[in-house]
Amino acid sequence: MQLTANQQYVLCALKEANNPLSAYALLKQLRKPGFNAPAQVYRALDRLIEHGLAYRLETLNAYVACSQQSNCERSLMAFAICDACGQADEFEVNDGDLRHWAQSHAFDLERTVIEIRGRCATCTRHQNEGAMK
């Protein structure tokens, strides 16, 4: 898989970010390398997502690089998104339940989205410390 220059720019920006980035945040960052319009960002994102190198977080309208070294494509990834700090953790889940429902309802499953929202360990700890004063 060979990435174009634009796709590499976007992927690098996502990898260097600590948090998910919106398409417009990416655009802002990539003005210097020559990005001028949202379509450029969205097109690169589309390809990256197609190839499993990035994900769109549906509950956030934002994008992240795939954090797994190997094949994200083989397994189902879920995201835990912290509402306090914005970090998104990717993890693998067993989708047996969903596949079972799909099969028993003759639903031809193409794509699965699983996102959980809440507070990450770090932010929960800080919140508690605050409360203890």
Answer with the entry of DNA, its own copies, none that 32 interacts with (C-beta below 5 to 8 A by kind): none
**Which of 20, 23, 47, 48 is closest to 35 using CA atoms?**
23
CA 1 from centroid of its chain's CA atoms: 20
Q: 34 or 118: whose CB is closer to its own copies? A: 118
Q: Which of 12, 17, 19, 22 binds DNA (CB under 7 A)?
A: 22
CA neighbours closer than 13 Å in the CB half-sphere of residue 127: 11
| Pairing between β-strand 76-82 and β-strand 54-57 as defined by DSSP bridges | unpaired
CB of 62 to DNA, least distance (A): 7
Contact 115, 78 (CB under 8 A): yes
Q: 2 or 94: whose CB is closer to DNA? A: 2
CB of 99 to DNA, least distance (A): 26
The rounded distance, in Å, linking the Cα atoms of 76 and 74 is 7
List the beta bridge partners of residue 79. 90, 115
Taking CB under 7 A as the binding criterion, the range among 2-10, 72-80, 93-101, 114-122 that sits at the site for DNA is 2-10
Q: Check binding of 88 to DNA (CB under 7 A).
A: no
**Which residues of this protein are in contact with DNA, per CB under 7 A?**
4-7, 22-25, 34-40, 42-44, 47, 56, 61-62
